[in-house]
Amino acid sequence: MKDQFLDRERKSAKRLASMQIPNSFKKVGVLIAAISFIGLIANKLILNAEEIRFLCRHGLIVGFLIISIARDKQEDEFIKDLRLKSYFFAFIFCVAYSVVMPYIDYLVDLFRDKESVLKDSGDFMILWMLICVQVFYFEYLKRLFK
Amino acid sequence: MKNTIKVERAILNITQEQLADKINVTRQTINSIEKNRYVPSTVLALKLSKVFNKPVNEFFELTDEDK
């Protein structure tokens, strides 16, 4: 009974860990990210509406997430290894970023004679950095081992 | 780990691309294995063994770093 339960748990954990979507979705991700990016810039220049900014930021993250979990044209074990390395690097980079960045911001503000306040990097910034670093580092690794 | 995949490939007179197609991986993977930048899984090693018709330890060898 216990073994059966553990076996089922192992299977579902394995399935969850290797969750990927077909390669064709990569284009959808690029499209969503591009539209959101253009929307962000247009909103900044024309409307400056908080709701549009919120939607575009989420669109950007969703777009990059789709790119991140979309399979490569030929996803073999070497590509999977590079993908794993890119997630590892992105995780370490973002934890370091979120810990160090508030202090850098604080020091920069201090030297610019601005009012210095210690504040967090923010949810969007951390998520954006995480997903962005993973996607670009993965592409960088693929080119490095071409 | 070092290997003689390049030599085995030359014996069969096939390109990296052709070898990659035979074992369903990318050319990048074969290139990285040949240059000792990537150690393949047991499954992939056995697929290579089938293509070269030789035991795995004839073209893969442990180095001092692995001991």
Least CA distance to A76: which residue of chain B? B25
- Only one residue has tokens 């990285």, namely B32
- B1 and B44 in contact (C-beta within 8 Å)? no
Residues of chain A in contact with residue B41, where contact means CB-CB under 8 angstroms, are 77
> With contacts defined as CB-CB under 8 Å, which chain B residues touch A81?
38
Cβ-contact A110, A116 below 8 angstroms: yes
Q: Mind listing the pLDDT tens digit for each residue in A75-123?
A: 899 999 999 999 999 999 999 999 998 898 888 888 887 777 788 888 8
Q: Which ipTM was obtained for this model?
A: 0.85
Both tokens of A57, joined, read 């930021």
Partner B, chain A 66-85, Cβ-Cβ below 8 Å: 74, 76-79, 81
Could you read off the pLDDT of A23-69 as tens digits, one per residue?
999 999 999 999 999 999 999 998 888 999 999 999 999 999 999 99
Q: Which residue of A has its CA nearest to B33?
A: A78
- Does B25 sit within 8 Å of A74, measured CB to CB? yes
| pLDDT band (50, 70, 90) for residue A2 | confident
With an 8 Å Cβ cutoff, are A146 and B38 in contact?
no
Cross-chain Cβ contact A146/B26 below 8 Å: no
Q: Is A27 left (phi over 0), alpha (psi -120 to 50) or beta?
A: alpha
All residues of chain A having their beta carbon less than 8 Å from the beta carbon of residue B38 are 78, 81, 145
Phi-psi region of B13 (alpha: psi -120 to 50; beta: other; left: phi over 0): left
Entry pTM: 0.85
Q: How far is CA A68 from CA A10, A26, A33, A61, in A?
A: 24, 8, 12, 10
Q: In this complex, is the C-beta atom of A145 within 8 Å of any C-beta atom belonging to chain B?
A: yes
